Amino acid sequence: MVHQGESPQSNEFEQYNFILQKLAEIEKRFDKTSKKTTSFS
């Protein structure tokens, strides 16, 4: 869904990066707390 003429998906890209960062943080935290439950996906 790319809309020509509008801000070139900068907002979506920022949101995407933000979510990825949050997921990475959560994964790191989760790894520290529970090493046993790493086979998750």
pLDDT tens digits, residue range 1-41? 555 665 666 888 999 999 999 999 999 988 877 766 555 55
Contact 31, 38 (CB under 8 A): yes
pLDDT for 41:
53
pLDDT for 33:
74
Contact 20, 13 (CB under 8 A): no
pLDDT for 26:
92
Q: What stretches of 1-41 show up as alpha helix (H) in DSSP?
A: 10-33
Residues in the chain: 41
Residues 6+ apart with CB under 8 A from 31: 38
